[in-house]
């Protein structure tokens, strides 16, 4: 453990973790989920999920990682012994699956960034944008090249190491990301549909809250916080010992939710102004509707460059965190160099990323359980493995981890946090969070009819 890497600065601890959490999930998936699930009602349920499920789950992972300073497998073996260590394998496998399909979308954002710069992106009608996106994504080469370029960049960062690669890039990209997002927010707030968009986002209509809204909110909360697969556990293993756990969990959750809400404040005014409040699913919104709208706005070309930069920054700080789960595992459990471990993870992502990239075109008819490669990887990892992994980590922290470790970790440098709050979080970790995840998950499997 003596020569194991640590993040060098307090800012680094926050920038890397928030960099992991803030990703495509916040910027395109969150506004979409809000849109289809009734606006403010979804936001309210989402915030409750973040508080009662998200923060306790993040806290559990941070405790396990920071206490052991080990990769997720080594950490669970040290604290839980030979059976609990297998929980981490769910996360190691799922993180490589997520890395594969997520990089495909990140590759698309790079293609659109390049096309915004060259000007080749701009067309004259909505139909042409739809056509261009379809032509691009179904192509046999272009999306594959872009996923490979993206994974190569991702590889360069992770190869550079925890402090010189991950921490450094997060320290640079995260502030930039916030600035770009604020520029867009200000822009959106001057649009004619701004007040309609904002009231849609913030006015809850309680009649809209159904079990599927709750399910959507929990899934979104897990994905958005990067929790459930040992990702934050892995980053926490690089936290200096005096990092306050609860305050860090709250900061990650707070900033992640803030970015999601800011993204909503950008997207909804645009949709109400230009689309009459018609909600459009993720890829179509980002790659067809928004570019078309940018064409009509003065300075739209620059907005378009900035927008795809934003998505690219958000993506790469998330994919390096997904990669680190398996890299730290390969490095420490097989005692190989960072270079070899990174090569191993990247190779897996290259193979599956290519299959996912081709699943919109040449491999569109190759199906597992009626799903293409891309959809299969996405659904199995985020709808099944993520909640199961999250549940097991929380149950472990609440019921199997030595109470003294739990309390001691929660007490580190958190004098400002009262005993009542610590006890409440422990109560959630033991009872509320596992129960909530189990109920919502069983409902999603159709157990309640
Ligand atoms: N949270 C990221 C997003 O919102 C995605 C992500 C990064 C993630 N690391 C993860 C999701 C680990 C699950 C597990 O886009």
Q: Using the mean position of ligand 1's atoms as its centre, give its distance from the Cα of residue 122 in Å.
A: 31
Structural contact between residues 81 and 287, judged by C-beta atoms closer than 8 angstroms: no
Pocket test for ligand 1, best of 21, 32, 72, 385 (most atoms within 8 A of CB): 21
Each residue's pLDDT tens digit, 374-417:
999 998 998 889 999 999 999 999 999 999 999 889 887 666 66
Q: What is the pLDDT of residue 363?
A: 86
Give the Å distance between the CA of 180 and the centre of ligand 1: 20
- Taking the CA of residue 227 as reference, the ligand 1 atom at the shortest distance is 14
CA distances to 121, 339, 376, 386 from 98, rounded to whole Å, are 28, 21, 10, 10
**Ligand 1 atom nearest residue 20's Cα:** 7
Task: Quote the pLDDT of residue 446.
Answer: 72
C-alpha span between 123 and 138 (Å, rounded): 19
What is the spatial distance between Cα 449 and Cα 292, in angstroms, rounded to a whole number?
Answer: 43
Rounded mean pLDDT, 1-28: 90
**Looking at the predicted structure, is the pLDDT value of residue 1 above 50?**
no
**Which string of DSSP letters, residue by residue, matches 21-70?**
HSSHIIIIIHHHHHHHTTTHHHHHHHHHHIIIIIHHHHHHHHHHHHHHTS
CA-closest residue to ligand 1 atom 13: 226
The pLDDT assigned to 434 comes to 96
Cα 339 to ligand 1 centre (Å): 23
CA 204 – ligand 1 centroid, Å: 27
Q: How far is the CA of 315 from the centre of ligand 1 (A)?
A: 9
- How much is the pLDDT for 417? 66
Closest Cα to residue 114, out of 362, 322, 291, 262? 291
pLDDT beyond 60 at 449: no
Residues 6+ apart with CB under 8 A from 226: 20, 21, 23, 232, 318, 321
User: What are the tens digits of pLDDT across the range 321-372?
Assistant: 999 999 999 999 999 999 999 999 999 999 999 999 999 988 888 888 889 9
Crossing angle (nearest 10°) for helices 403-411 and 245-274? 70
**Predicted local confidence at residue 295, as pLDDT:** 85
Ligand 1 pocket by Cβ (under 6 Å):
20-21, 23-26, 95, 98, 223-224, 226, 229, 231, 318, 321-322
Give this prediction's pTM: 0.94
What is the C-alpha separation between 301 and 119, in angstroms, rounded?
7
For residues 338 and 342, what is the distance between their CA atoms, to the nearest angstrom? 6
What is the CA(311)–ligand 1 centre distance, in A? 14
Instruction: Read off the pLDDT of residues 159-204 as tens digits, 9 standing for 90 and up.
Output: 999 999 999 999 999 999 999 999 999 989 999 999 999 999 999 8
Question: Which pLDDT belongs to residue 276?
Answer: 77
* Ligand 1 atom with least separation from CA of 381: 13
């Amino acid at each position: 453990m003596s020569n194991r890497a640590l993040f060098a600065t307090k800012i680094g601890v926050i920038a890397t973790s928030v960099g992991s959490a803030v990703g495509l999930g916040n910027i395109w998936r969150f506004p979409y989920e809000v849109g289809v699930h009734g606006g403010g009602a979804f936001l309210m349920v989402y915030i409750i999920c973040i508080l009662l499920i998200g923060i306790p789950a993040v806290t559990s992972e941070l405790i396990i990682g920071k206490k052991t300073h080990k990769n997720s497998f080594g950490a669970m073996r040290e604290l839980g012994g030979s059976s609990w260590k297998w929980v981490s394998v769910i996360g190691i496998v799922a993180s490589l699956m997520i890395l594969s399909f997520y990089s495909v979308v990140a590759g698309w954002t790079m293609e659109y960034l390049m096309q915004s710069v060259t000007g080749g992106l701009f067309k004259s009608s909505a139909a042409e944008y739809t056509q261009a996106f379809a032509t691009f994504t179904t192509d046999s080469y272009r999306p594959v090249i872009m996923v490979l370029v993206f994974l190569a960049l991702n590889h360069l960062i992770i190869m550079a190491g925890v402090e010189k690669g991950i921490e450094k890039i997060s320290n640079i990209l995260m502030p930039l990301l916030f600035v770009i997002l604020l520029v867009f927010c200000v822009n959106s707030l001057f649009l004619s549909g701004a007040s309609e968009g904002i009231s849609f986002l913030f006015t809850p209509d309680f009649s809209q809250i159904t079990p599927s809204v709750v399910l959507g909110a929990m899934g979104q909360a897990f994905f958005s916080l990067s929790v459930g697969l040992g990702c934050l556990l892995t980053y926490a293993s690089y936290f200096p010992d005096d990092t306050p756990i609860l305050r860090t969990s709250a900061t990650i959750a707070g900033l992640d939710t803030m970015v999601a809400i800011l993204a909503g404040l950008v997207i909804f005014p645009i949709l109400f102004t230009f689309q009459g409040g018609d909600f459009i699913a993720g890829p179509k919104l980002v790659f067809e509707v928004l570019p078309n709208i940018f064409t009509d706005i003065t300075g739209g070309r620059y907005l378009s460059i900035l927008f795809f930069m934003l998505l690219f920054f958000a993506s790469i700080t998330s994919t390096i965190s997904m990669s680190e789960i398996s890299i730290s595992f390969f490095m420490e459990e097989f005692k190989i160099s960072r270079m070899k471990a990174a090569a191993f993870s990247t190779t897996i992502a290259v193979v599956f990323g290519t299959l996912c990239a081709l699943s919109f075109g040449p491999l569109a008819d190759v199906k597992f359980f009626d799903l293409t490669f891309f959809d299969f990887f996405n659904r199995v990892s985020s709808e099944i493995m993520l909640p199961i992994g999250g549940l097991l980590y929380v149950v472990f922290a609440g019921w199997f981890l030595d109470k003294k470790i739990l309390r001691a970790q929660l007490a580190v440098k958190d004098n400002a946090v009262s005993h009542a709050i610590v006890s409440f979080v422990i109560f959630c970790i033991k009872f509320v969070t596992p129960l909530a995840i189990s109920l919502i998950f069983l409902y999603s499997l159709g157990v309640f009819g």
